[in-house]
């Protein structure tokens, strides 16, 4: 179930691209060095009007690239993929998460849509990963300990997804570099009192680098897991090294991104802070244009309001203070909504599992892998359920377990409303795999 930040007639119509329709936008242009880094002086930010011929889905773009159309008739797609590949390599070389954790643990994304014919919600599950780790490789033998990367239920990230991800990240870095080049106060050729104060503040997302030196033993354990081919246990263990991301108006490096600076602003339709950044950028550009008109002695259009500029138009012998956007308010809304979002996702995932169990006359078994131990005294572990894209706690009935150990588990109990789910060892080896079902009534 999706709750849009804007009404559908705005987010899907006014604020979205449609074929042969003019759409107002804020466009960013950059040039890249050979190593994939941004040339700071090349960054351009400008209001624009976009008119597209047609829209493409991710699958359509992948097909065009696979068939060569993306390098001939639609050569722009091939150029975008080349730039995205160069950007990914650049960030990995700077220590980004994609390099440190090349095999991230996928996540199950559940959606629920009401079916009027059935009079109930239809639930579907899609397992996604954050970045490409190459083609999936299944193990040839039956060894319990994984000695190669194995995930039969999650497909690798496609070329089209790589393009979108890297272009969005590049836009975040570019706007940060662009902001740092802007003067905190425009130089004026006439009396300051007749000019608008024009300072741009943005919410830079910063993440300190891990402290490996003081945690050498843990670092060796993480490296050991990777060397032994225990990819998901390695990804789970590596999380302990990542520091919390903080937001500041002062620029700073983001370790996980492998960037010197980063501002999140590419999704103004679905993230409140991105919308705030767009508003701040537009106000800055408008104030800059108004100052140019004042210097040239031109009349300011009466339609320009305080909301457009973030301040009043200049009055005689008095400077106007900027009504700065409070980014903490947007972040506060996001943080407040996360527990609700998490509970909603858990409910529908657990309901999906409940329906699978109730619709089968046989014992359903789920293949899983042990990620790591969280309580040695209680033999409590975190396991990853491949078919569900789910990380979950598991109390071992067999005592101590090794990272990477493969297990077949069954659902011992599930209560979606209480957000309770418990697994136990399956009663037999082998068994049927869960298949998508949604016909059982909601709990």
Confidence of residue 436 (pLDDT cuts 50, 70, 90): very low
Q: What is the pLDDT of residue 403?
A: 96
Q: What is the pLDDT of residue 318?
A: 59
User: Percentage helix, strand, coil, to 5, in the chain?
Assistant: 35, 20, 45
Q: What is the pLDDT of residue 2?
A: 65
Residue 380's H or E segment, with its range, is strand 380-385
> Which phi and psi (to 5°) does residue 133 adopt?
-120, 15
Mean pLDDT score of the chain, rounded to an integer?
A: 87
The pLDDT tens digits for 333-362 are 778 888 988 999 999 999 999 999 999 888
Q: What is the pLDDT of residue 217?
A: 96
Q: Indicate if the pLDDT at residue 146 is higher than 90.
A: no
Mean pLDDT of 247-264: 96
CA distance 377 to 372: 14
The pLDDT tens digits for 55-86 are 899 999 999 999 999 999 999 999 999 999 99
CA distance 53 to 186: 39
The region of weakest confidence among 233-242, 294-303, 390-399, 416-425 is 294-303
Residue closest to 36 by CA, chosen among 226, 195, 167: 167
Mean pLDDT of 9-37: 93
The pLDDT tens digits for 286-328 are 999 999 998 888 998 989 999 999 988 877 655 667 778 888 8
DSSP-assigned beta bridge partners for residue 304: none
DSSP class per residue in 187-203:
--SS-GGGS--------
In Å, what is the CA distance from 358 to each residue of 46, 414, 434? Answer: 56, 11, 11
Confidence of residue 187 (pLDDT cuts 50, 70, 90): low
Q: Look up residue 397 and give its two tokens.
A: 């009935």
Mean pLDDT of 408-423: 95
Q: What is the pLDDT of residue 141?
A: 37
Q: Are 286 and 308 in contact (CB under 8 A)?
A: yes
Mean pLDDT of 133-138: 33
Residues with Cβ < 8 Å from 21, sequence gap 6 or more?
51
Q: Indicate if the pLDDT at residue 142 is higher than 50.
A: no
Dihedral sign for Cα atoms in the order 270, 273, 277, 283: positive
Q: Indicate if the pLDDT at residue 46 is higher than 50.
A: yes
Mean pLDDT of 130-147: 41
Q: What is the pLDDT of residue 129?
A: 85
Q: Are 370 and 405 in contact (CB under 8 A)?
A: yes
């Amino acid at each position: 179930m999706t709750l849009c930040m804007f009404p559908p007639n705005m987010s899907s119509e006014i604020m979205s691209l449609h074929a042969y329709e003019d759409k107002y936008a804020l466009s960013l242009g950059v040039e890249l060095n050979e190593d994939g880094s941004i040339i700071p002086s090349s960054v351009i930010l400008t209001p624009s009007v976009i008119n597209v011929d047609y829209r493409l889905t991710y699958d359509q773009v992948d097909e065009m690239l696979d068939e060569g159309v993306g390098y001939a008739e639609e050569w722009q797609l091939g150029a975008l993929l080349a730039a995205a590949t160069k950007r990914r390599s650049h960030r990995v070389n700077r220590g980004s998460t994609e390099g440190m954790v090349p095999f991230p643990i996928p996540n199950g994304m559940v959606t629920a849509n009401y079916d009027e014919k059935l009079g109930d919600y239809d639930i579907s599950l899609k397992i996604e990963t954050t970045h490409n780790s190459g083609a999936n490789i299944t193990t040839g033998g039956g060894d319990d300990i994984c000695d190669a990367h194995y995930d039969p239920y999650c497909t690798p990230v496609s070329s089209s997804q790589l393009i979108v991800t890297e272009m969005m990240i590049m836009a975040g870095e570019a706007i940060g570099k662009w902001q740092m080049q802007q003067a905190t106060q425009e130089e004026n050729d006439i009396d300051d009192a007749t000019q608008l104060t024009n300072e741009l503040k943005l919410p830079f997302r910063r993440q300190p680098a891990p402290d490996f030196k003081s945690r050498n033993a843990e670092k060796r354990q993480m490296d050991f897991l990777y060397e032994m081919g225990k990819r998901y246990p390695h990804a789970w263990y590596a999380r302990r090294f990542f520091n919390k991301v903080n937001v500041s108006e002062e620029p700073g490096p983001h370790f996980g991104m492998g960037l010197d600076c980063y501002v999140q602003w590419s999704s103004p339709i679905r993230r409140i802070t991105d919308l705030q950044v767009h508003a701040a950028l537009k106000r800055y550009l408008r104030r800059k244009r108004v100052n140019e008109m004042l210097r040239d002695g031109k009349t300011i259009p009466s339609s320009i309001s305080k909301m457009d500029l973030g301040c009043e138009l200049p009055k005689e012998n008095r400077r106007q203070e900027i009504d700065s956007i409070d980014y903490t308010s947007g972040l506060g809304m996001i943080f407040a909504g996360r527990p609700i979002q998490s509970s909603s996702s858990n409910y529908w995932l657990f309901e999906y599992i409940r329906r699978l169990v109730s619709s089968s006359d046989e014992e359903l078994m789920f293949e899983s892998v042990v990620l790591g131990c969280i309580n040695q005294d209680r033999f409590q572990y975190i396991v990853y359920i491949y078919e569900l894209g789910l990380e979950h706690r598991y109390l071992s009935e067999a005592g101590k377990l090794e990272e990477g150990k493969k297990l077949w588990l069954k659902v011992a109990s599930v209560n979606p409303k209480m957000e309770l789910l418990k697994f136990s060892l399956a009663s037999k080896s082998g068994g049927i795999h869960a298949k998508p079902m949604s016909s059982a009534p909601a709990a």
